[in-house]
Amino acid sequence: MGRWIACMVVLVSGLGFAAAPGPKPSAERGKTNLLTRSYNPPTMALSNYHNAWKHWGLDQKPDDADYDRLFRERYGLHPAPYPNNGLPMGLRAAPGSFALGTRNGLTTDCLVCHGGSIFGQSYVGLGNSTLDFQAFYEEVGGLGGRKAKPPFTFTNVRGTSEAGAMSVYLLGYRDDELNLRLTRRDLDLQDDLCEDPPAWWLLKKKKTMYHTGGADTRSTRAIMQFMMSPLNPASAFHKAESDFRDIREYLLSLEPPKYPLPIDQPLASKGEALFKDNCARCHGTYGENWTYPNKVIALKDIGTDPRRFEGITHKFGEAYNKSWFARDYQAIETDGYQAPPLDGIWATAPYLHNGSVPTLYGVLNSQARPKLFTRSFRTDRDAYDEKHVGWKVELLQRMPEGLPAIEARKIYDTSKPGRSNAGHTYGDKLTDEERFAIIEYLKTL
Ligand code: HEC
Ligand code: HEC
């Protein structure tokens, strides 16, 4: 029965919790923290970055001129739009250690999943829709050039990750005060939820966050779950809390990128009227006096894939709520998925919480959604479907046999657990003319 959010929660607002102590949070400081500090100590040597090609089936190292790009393309990473020592967004050079056997370490940060690019431009806070975290971990995360084996699946299908499972797994190694335990408690680990990261610029409108609305957006600790590397003692969380208060403030300051191509304004106005009639009750209204109803729609009504909802259970929710993470805001139990604000929606394909629908047109016509497909996993204009708004895909008749795992993860098979693209049929009764008007309007958000 448990429908808990992998992260945290709520309802305590009326109980008189005092505001957190400390200086007023600063978006400016938060930006610096996010883009220059590392909150998980390195578990890899920096040289792993330069040696990764040895796992690519090549006889010799590609030219230096091509290496960074080939590395990004293989794992689905994006150029950093800030100084990052030549590393892609999401990787960070950090001092090594005796245990690591080098002074030059490499670690990952939030932007490995929360940094993306579109039309050749990288954005902090655009969910990474191309990431293969499984391949990255296996080929770059090992010691001494060996392949690493993750303790559970990190990515089932490219562009999604098992971020929820990471929390469930890592919290199992912590007691309520976040001290490390010698043995892991199983908090119902399930690694087929196929989660697509929400854009960070939506956070400022949301009272609750995560796909099920299971966490209170005011919670700083909820977003510190990604610090649960076993190399971090409990004291690291206490020390980092004020940094994360600033990071949260920075996330609240982000704005969506504007649609870069011409928009047919008269058509968009028609679409706006249709949107108000058919969509606004769940997704809100836009413009200066915007509204956002913050609604969670019951699973039986929305009808989208149930795995994300079912896959993080009461057992995790209870452990979370007893822990240090929930001392400010408890995790909330909900009955379905939150209808997100649609600001910048043109840039955040693929759609739905599991990234199962490649275009807005598909969101509005459930009959037209592809069932088995792949895409280039590039994010330039050539990869973009301007008519249907989202990613161009290639349809497949059946799953090819004998593909290496890294190639198989490029194929989205909607018959697999966690990957259904059913549900959300609110656009089915519209005509195509109406759908394209709504799509034109969505470009303006
Ligand atoms: C392995 C990929 C990954 C990493 C690393 C990661 N996240 Fe996330 N994050 C996700 C996914 C996926 C979700 C959606 C989770 C869900 O509800 O299923 C999410 C959700 C969130 C949300 C809620 C967004 C919303 O609107 O609901 C916030 C805020 C957030 N992450 C912040 C962070 C911060 C800060 C860090 C670094 C400390 C971080 N994340 C690291 C993948 C990641
Ligand atoms: C009854 C409430 C409801 C109505 C009406 C509704 N939606 Fe949604 N919508 C949702 C929910 C809930 C989700 C998230 C479902 C999921 O991810 O599983 C969603 C998801 C979406 C998404 C994908 C968002 C993303 O970031 O992946 C788009 C786009 C969208 N809706 C557009 C529309 C449009 C356009 C209309 C009107 C034709 C509409 N919706 C009508 C509840 C609604």
pLDDT average, residue stretch 244-255:
98
pLDDT (tens digit per residue) in 267-284: 999 999 999 999 999 999
- Which residue type does 47 have? S
One DSSP character per residue, 65-86 reads HHHHHHHHHHHT----SS--TT
pLDDT (tens digit per residue) in 47-86: 999 999 999 999 999 998 899 999 999 999 999 999 999 9
Q: What atom in ligand 2 is closest to the CA of residue 357?
A: 27
Q: What is the pLDDT of residue 3?
A: 53
pLDDT average, residue stretch 290-305:
98
CA distance 302 to 29: 39
Q: What is the DSSP letter of 287?
A: S
Cα–Cα distances (Å) from 78 to 117, 119, 223, 323, in that order, read 6, 12, 22, 35
Q: Is the pLDDT of residue 16 over 90?
A: no
Residue 289 CB neighbour total at 10 angstroms: 6
Rounded to a whole number, what is the distance in angstroms from the first to the last CA of the chain? Answer: 36
Question: What is the whole-number distance in angstroms between the Cα of residue 377 and the centre of ligand 2?
Answer: 24
Residues 6+ apart with CB under 8 A from 388: 359, 360, 361, 362, 439
Beta strand pairing call for 91-97 and 384-385: unpaired
Alpha helix (H) residue ranges in 105-208: 111-114, 133-140, 163-171
Q: What atom in ligand 2 is closest to the CA of residue 427?
A: 38
Cα–Cα distances (Å) from 344 to 25, 44, 127, 349, 445, in that order, read 26, 35, 12, 10, 6
Which listed ligand is nearest to 112 at the C-alpha? 1
What's the token pair of residue 282?
């769940």
Binding site membership of 363 for ligand 2 (Cβ less than 6 Å) = yes
Q: What is the pLDDT of residue 188?
A: 96
Q: What is the pLDDT of residue 144?
A: 80
- The closest residue, in CA terms, to atom 42 on ligand 2 is 339
At 21, the pLDDT band (50, 70, 90 cuts) reads low
At 246, the pLDDT band (50, 70, 90 cuts) reads very high
Pocket of ligand 1 (CB under 6 A): 6, 110, 112-114, 133, 161, 163-164, 195, 197-198, 202-203, 206, 209-211, 223, 226, 247, 251, 308
Q: Is the pLDDT of residue 326 over 60?
A: yes
pLDDT average, residue stretch 194-203:
98
Host H or E run for residue 7: strand 4-10
Q: What is the mean pLDDT of the chain?
A: 94
At 100, the pLDDT band (50, 70, 90 cuts) reads confident
Which listed ligand is nearest to 207 at the C-alpha? 1
Could you tell me how many residues make up the chain?
Answer: 445
Binding site membership of 337 for ligand 2 (Cβ less than 6 Å) = yes
Q: What is the pLDDT of residue 8?
A: 38
Question: What is the whole-number distance in angstroms between the Cα of residue 110 and the centre of ligand 1?
Answer: 7
Question: What is the whole-number distance in angstroms between the Cα of residue 127 and the centre of ligand 1?
Answer: 9
% of the chain residues with pLDDT over 70: 95
- The closest residue, in CA terms, to atom 11 on ligand 1 is 197
CA distance 106 to 101: 12
CA distance 437 to 21: 49
At 23, the pLDDT band (50, 70, 90 cuts) reads confident
Distance of CA 407 to the CA centre of its chain: 21
- The closest residue, in CA terms, to atom 10 on ligand 2 is 339
Alpha helix (H) residue ranges in 323-445: 360-364, 405-408, 432-443
